Amino acid sequence: MSGDKICVGAIGGAYGVRGELRVKSFCAVPEDLESYSPLTSGDGSRAFHLALVRPVKNGFVARIVEVASKEEADALKGVQLFADRDQLPSLPDDEYYHTDLMGLDVLDTGGTLLGTVKQVLDHGAGDLLEVQRPGSSETVLLPFTLAAVPTVDLATGRIIADPPEGLF
């Protein structure tokens, strides 16, 4: 996925029999998902004009103009929804879009390469960086806190980490 698109939600499948869908928002303010419409699929081949109908557990019921039946809604299950980066709010200096962190090199405070960010995980208590060790399929979960990750430099494509003792 190119850097000009950010994943802001995902379709969970049909909700009812009238073409409504269950949608999960990845936005800081979940309702903002609707304001970024039209959203696109990951490959950019489809555009979706989305309107939120009502909140439900873990998401929203939504209508998409291009979807008229339960079968069409079911066919979209698992589709990620992307917005143009310029539609999204600018972030404070200490906040990052997950997509911007993936692929960055992680170095310790002495400059030794620890690995590369494979993905960013959010389990509710705080983000974790899944760091893939160099030349290995092994990964390590690094807490994404100021203490463990004091520096993120998007311009140079690297993260300086001070991991807890014994983590790496």
Domains of the chain: 5-86 (2.40.30.60), 98-161 (2.30.30.240)
The pLDDT of 59-81, averaged and rounded, is 93
Q: What's the CA gap between 46 and 81, in Å, rounded?
A: 10
pLDDT at residue 150 is higher than 70: yes
Question: Residue 26 contacts by C-beta under 8 Å, 6 or more apart in sequence?
Answer: 7, 8, 9, 10
User: Which residue from 83, 78, 66 is spatially nearest to 1, judged by alpha carbons?
Assistant: 83
Q: What's the gap between Cα 89 and its chain centre?
A: 15
Q: What's the CA gap between 121 and 118, in Å, rounded?
A: 10
Question: Residue 1: its pLDDT value, please?
Answer: 41
Q: What's the CA gap between 16 and 70, in Å, rounded?
A: 7
Q: What's the CA gap between 74 and 22, in Å, rounded?
A: 10
- DSSP code string of 14-71: E-SSSS-EEEEE-SSSGGGGGGGPSEE-TTS--EE-EEEEEEETTEEEEEETT--SHH
Q: How large a percentage of the chain has pLDDT more than 90?
A: 68
Question: Residue 125 contacts by C-beta under 8 Å, 6 or more apart in sequence?
Answer: none
pTM: 0.75
Longest distance between any two alpha carbons in the chain, whole Å:
59
Question: Residue 88: its pLDDT value, please?
Answer: 87
